[in-house]
Structure 1
Amino acid sequence: MSTPINVPTLYAIGSVVAGYSHSCGLAQGVALCWGANVFGVLGVGSIGGVALQPTPVQAGGVAFVQLVSGGYHNCGLTAAGEAWCWGWNAEGQTGIGSVGSPVILPQRVQDGGLRFASLAAGESHTCGLTAAGVAYCWGGNARGELGSDPGVIGAQRPTPTMVPGVPALSLIDGGTLHSCALATTGEAWCWGDRTSGQTGDGVVDGAITSPHLVSGTMSWAHLATAGSTTCAVEAGTLDAWCWGRGDQGSLGNGAFPAHSALPVLAGSLLLQGPALTTPRVDVGPASGAPGSIVCATTTLGTVLCWGPGGRGQLGDGTLTPRRAVAAPVLVGPPTE
């Protein structure tokens, strides 16, 4: 499918997130998931099978205000600030205090009394922000993506652990093996794997286990990361900038560099429009292909995407095999 399609459902879904082989939506507090039930990621009390349409997660009446998806796990946030997770738990990414068997029904994160204002998920780790802007992360730490153990790589954390050394944060997001966050002052901070320059501090090598400032003097309005690519929207100009892996066009600058350890301009997209409340850019894994898909909203409310193509990932109406699209293309309208 090379253009968006409407997902058949009786529910009015207000937001959608996606993992490696599944998608989930939120409809008036009810979490619904569909796709492959790998590691119990659909939250229906079993493992295996496929849900062809949105299926209610068996959350025991718990209502959610936010959903996030990692590779094969999901987490939901309640209005009271509680985090609940389910799915793959081999790295402790569900935060239930143990590492091992899949969690096939939502369980409350063992947060020690913490209350979160928002959640984010990487491939095998999860992070939460408190109302005060303090970040906590849990799960896999193969490349220091938790940011909570300076100098330590590989120490899994099955419960939330504070990320030290950063100011108050307004947003946090997770990639495959790295994390990035946006400070209330407009600074961007990243940590974890930087073998593709995805931490944006000018270095392509190894990993950093504590938060580092992204290079440059820009003040950021929004940030997102997935795979080994990070993108952000510059405050004021609303330009999109990206850093990290670029060989599949994920940097959006019209070229195919192997990587960039510094932010590069993806194009003046003017991401804020009359129908939008915040400028926004999103990054996601490219299904069945290396690199990351990046999409951004425009002043007209349209969507532009760039990165790997050829499997319909860009939504531009073509399945033509090609290496990648290194500059933004317009996503087509949905079909029935």
Structure 2
Amino acid sequence: MDRVPSSLPALPSVSDFAVGELHGCGVSQGTVYCWGANTAQALCTGLPDSEQEPRLAPPSNDARGQQISVSRSNTCARMTDGTVQCCGDDRHGQLGRGDSGAPRSAFRPVISLADHVVHVVTSDGSACALVQGGAVKCWGSNEYGELGGQTRDGLRHPQPSQVTFR
């Protein structure tokens, strides 16, 4: 007969998590952890390997994680200071960096997003943020009109643009 332990070790409190096609991430007491396939460095651990168990994904500054969003090959976190930090694939500018488009293996802030973010969502080629005041700003691919404008194109869009609801 199996014995049931009389007490279990304390488990960390998870406040948010997201699971994509190939990896997952969670926020526990303000710290981000990721696990699964490290496609395009989307685990944000700074390490090259995939992880079977949650591994620390440190932010680029002292801000703490509050909300997480993952897609097939990138991850974005909304931080306690209202910023967004992302890692992974950047072919379409979906990390909001404005540089070469090379994958990033660690969290870095979305530059040019000065608004206080209250929610972030990622997809394979783009990301969007709901900011204080109710505006939605998106960056990355616009191949299918993901940026919410009147045009579509195959260019990189690392600068967030506001979506206009009509």
TM-score interval, normalised by the smaller of the two chains: 0.7 to 0.9
Q: Which runs of 5+ in 1 are unaligned?
A: 1-165, 273-278, 286-291
What amino acid sits opposite 1:260 in the alignment? R
Secondary structure at the aligned position of 1:172 is classed as: strand
| Equivalent in 123, 143, 147 of residue 310 of structure 1 | 143
Which of these residues, 97, 100, 103, is aligned with residue 259 of structure 1? 103
Supply the AA of the counterpart residue of 1:178. Answer: H
Could you say which residue in structure 2 is the equivalent of 1:210? Answer: 53
Q: Which residue of 2 aligns with 1:109?
A: none
Give the alignment partner of residue 330 of structure 1, picking from 146, 162, 166: 162
- Aligned positions of 1:163-202 closer than 5 A: 167-183=12-28, 185-202=29-46
- Deviation, 1:324, is 2.1
- Structure 2 matches for 1:51-200, cutoff 5 A? 167-183=12-28, 185-200=29-44
2:93 matched to 1:249?
yes
- The gaps in structure 2 that reach 5 residues or longer are 1-10
**Structure 1 residue 176 displacement after superposition:** 2.2
Matched letter for residue 167 of structure 1: P
Distance 1:256 1:232 in 2: 21
How far has the Cα of 1:294 moved from its partner? 0.4
Q: TM-score, normalised by structure 2?
A: 0.84
CA–CA distance in 2 between the matches of 1:180 and 1:252? 20
When residues 256 and 301 of structure 1 are mapped into structure 2, their CA distance, relative to the original with a 3 A threshold, is farther
TM-score by length of 1: 0.43
Which structure has the greater CA radius of gyration? Answer: 1
Match of 1:293 in 2: 126
Deviation of 1:264 (Å):
1.1
> d(CA) in 2 for partners of 1:168 and 1:233?
18
- Conserved? CA contact 2:16–2:66, under 8 Å: no
Q: Deviations over 1:193-215 (max 9, x none)?
A: 113111111023x4111100112
CA–CA distance in structure 2, aligned partners of residues 197 and 322 of structure 1: 23
Letter in 2 for 1:208: E
Do 2:26 and 2:33's aligned partners in 1 also have CA atoms closer than 8 Å? yes
Matched residues, percent identical? Answer: 25
Instruction: Please list the CA deviations of residues 192-249 of structure 1 after superposition, one character each: whole Å capped at 9, or x if unmatched.
Output: 1113111111023x411110011234311211111211001110x2111101111211
Q: Report SS of the residue matched to 1:196.
A: helix
Distance 1:281 1:175 in 2: 15
State the Cα distance separating 1:300 from its structure 2 match: 2.6
Question: Does residue 219 in structure 1 map to residue 55 in structure 2?
Answer: no
Identify which of structures 1 and 2 has the higher relative contact order when contacts are C-alpha pairs closer than 8 Å and 6+ apart: 2
The one-letter code of the counterpart of 1:307 is G
The superposition leaves residues 150-179 of structure 1 with CA deviations (integer Å, 9 ceiling, x where unpaired) of xxxxxxxxxxxxxxxx72201110122000
Partner of 2:116: 271
The answer (yes or no) to whether the contact 1:181–1:190 under 8 Å persists in 2 is yes
Map Cα deviations across residues 35-55 of structure 1 (whole Å, 9 max, x no partner): xxxxxxxxxxxxxxxxxxxxx
CA distance in 2, matches of 1:181, 1:269: 25
State the number of aligned residues.
153
**Which residue does the alignment assign to 1:66?**
none
